[in-house]
Amino acid sequence: MPSKVETTHVILPRELIVYQRSDSDVWQCRVKVDNKWFSKTTKERDLEKAIERAKRLLFEAQLRNESNIPVVTKKFRDIARLAKQQMQDELANPKMKAPVSFNQYVKIIDDYLIPFFGNKNIDGITYDELDSYQEDLKVKMNRSPAYSTMRKHNVTLNRIFDKAVEKAYLTNANRPKLDTKGNKSEKYATFDIGEINAILANFPPWIAGTSNREKREQRELLFDYVRVLIDTGARPGKELLDLQWKNIRYRMVVNNDTRVEIDEEGNRSVITHEDYDDRGEALELTKWEPTVSLSVYGKTKDRVANGFDVTYEVLNEIIERNYSDNKITLKSLTTSNNEGYVFRTRSLKAPSSFNHLFDRYLDEHNLLIDRNSGKKRVFYSLRSTHTTAVMNLDQVPIRDLSKQLGNSVGMIEKHYDRATGDAIVENVRAPNARQALFNTDKVPEIYKSKKQKKSP
């Protein structure tokens, strides 16, 4: 049995111990409260004074516990670093499927929260200080932070407060309740249909316009990425960039090509498109249309984004470009649960500075700034254009669109619904409703004029 250290004194068995570290002449103490041991310094070098101070610390700790106040305080920066490390560990572990937003929270901790709150005790942060923090953000950003920005900062703060509660440095009773304030976000600048056509048409010559191999590969991949964003309306970033071949399923659907004919009297009829063999016999043309289901993981966790001809074409282009073995096909990659990443260059490198590359491309072609709003276009502008187009041009039900985009109906209406009068005219014609509303033939007697009823 090890001998007891001479500088350790049990003042109250299983409740209070006074001890001295080998590298310090200041006496420390350990107090037990609610079956947990806590270490504190007495700040005394004299043993008798240290014992008296330790007894007071025990009493204060018991009183704090009874009042639902943390027994010990801790600096904000230390708890913030614990929360930061937990997020980084989850990001490093692919099995955890940590949201990409963790990278933003880590940056917020380093760039904003620790510099402002770092030296404060975690249980001493007041609402006035939280208001001061928002004012400090205005100065650093040179503008009032947007509502979405403040929400991210509050989410990050809450993760730190959660860690403080877990470590018993804070209680749920005295943790601050955060209220998100900030300028409400506006709709993303969008592209009109003609601008989207210009974006796609200008890509091939832009790709061919550089002799630098690495730049050309990045441009090729950007073209792939943009086309799939437009075709699926997927969220830019993690949803597509982390997509693996095993996350893809596709099927070919038979669709007989049809056309509409209108006769001299204006009657419409749907005619199956036909061709003829050598004997003049009618042949029905069969069209196979691909449907590509992408199982993506992002802001709203797992969901399926559907792509069609364009996405199918892009995937096959990537395979032809990146895989030299002719036996490797879309079918073989997707059915074998291949874990390779889809959006990679010929050299199998991940995208590099895609946002900046897209900015430069748009700027070069006079498409970076929306002429109507004066706002800068971003990748999310493609998602916005996709959503508006399918609602305006094809009247896709908003319920189905909600599933496709991974947004609530309310969010789609708020951020993406730019329906024009021309776009909705046929849907709101509503002949049955109008016939019923303007039917004046049969008005019940009770609603007829009282004066007319009295007149002879």
146-199 pLDDT per residue, tens: 888 888 999 999 999 999 888 878 888 788 888 776 555 556 788 888 899 999
Q: Report if pTM > 0.95.
A: no
**Both tokens of residue 406?**
């991974």
Q: What backbone torsions phi and psi does residue 106 show, to the nearest 5 degrees?
A: -60, -40
Q: Are residues 19 and 99 in the same domain?
A: no
Nearest of 225, 188, 105 to residue 412 by alpha carbon: 188
**Both tokens of residue 58?**
């025990």
Rounded (10°) angle between helices 147-166 and 127-141: 140
With cut-offs at 50, 70 and 90, classify the pLDDT of residue 58: very high
Q: Are residues 133 and 205 in the same domain?
A: no
Q: Are residues 265 and 312 in the same domain?
A: yes
Domain coverage including residue 31: 8-66
Nearest of 81, 84, 82, 64 to residue 73 by alpha carbon: 64
Q: Is residue 23, in this structure, part of any structural domain at all?
A: yes
Element (H, E) at 274: strand 274-276
Q: Are residues 33 and 81 in the same domain?
A: no
Cα–Cα distance for residue pair 77/84, rounded to 1 Å: 10
Q: What is the pLDDT of residue 112?
A: 93
Under 8 Å between Cβ of 68 and 50: no
* DSSP 3-state of 304: strand
Q: Is residue 367, in this structure, part of any structural domain at all?
A: yes
User: What would the pLDDT profile of 1-26 be if each residue is shown by its tens digit?
Assistant: 344 557 899 999 999 999 998 888 89
Average pLDDT over residues 105-124: 91
Nearest of 324, 323, 198, 299 to residue 240 by alpha carbon: 299
Under 8 Å between Cβ of 427 and 396: no
Q: Are residues 216 and 342 in the same domain?
A: yes
State the DSSP string of 351-404: P-SHHHHHHHHHHHTT-SB-TTT-PBP-HHHHHHHHHHHHHHHH---HHHHHHH
Q: How many domains does the chain have?
A: 3
User: What would the pLDDT profile of 316-374 be if each residue is shown by its tens digit?
Assistant: 999 999 998 888 999 999 999 899 999 999 999 988 778 899 999 999 999 999 888 88
With cut-offs at 50, 70 and 90, classify the pLDDT of residue 72: low
With cut-offs at 50, 70 and 90, classify the pLDDT of residue 224: very high
Q: Are residues 360 and 213 in the same domain?
A: yes
Q: Are residues 252 and 378 in the same domain?
A: yes
Q: Are residues 80 and 62 in the same domain?
A: no
Q: What is the pLDDT of residue 430?
A: 58
Q: Is residue 429, in this structure, part of any structural domain at all?
A: no
Q: Are residues 260 and 316 in the same domain?
A: yes
Q: Is residue 288, in this structure, part of any structural domain at all?
A: yes
User: What would the pLDDT profile of 228-278 be if each residue is shown by its tens digit?
Assistant: 999 888 888 888 998 999 999 988 866 555 444 444 454 544 444 445 555
Cα–Cα distance for residue pair 212/240, rounded to 1 Å: 26
Question: Within 10 A of 394 (CB to CB), how many other CB atoms are there?
Answer: 8
Cα–Cα distance for residue pair 319/307, rounded to 1 Å: 17
**Both tokens of residue 73?**
């305080």
Q: Is residue 446, in this structure, part of any structural domain at all?
A: no
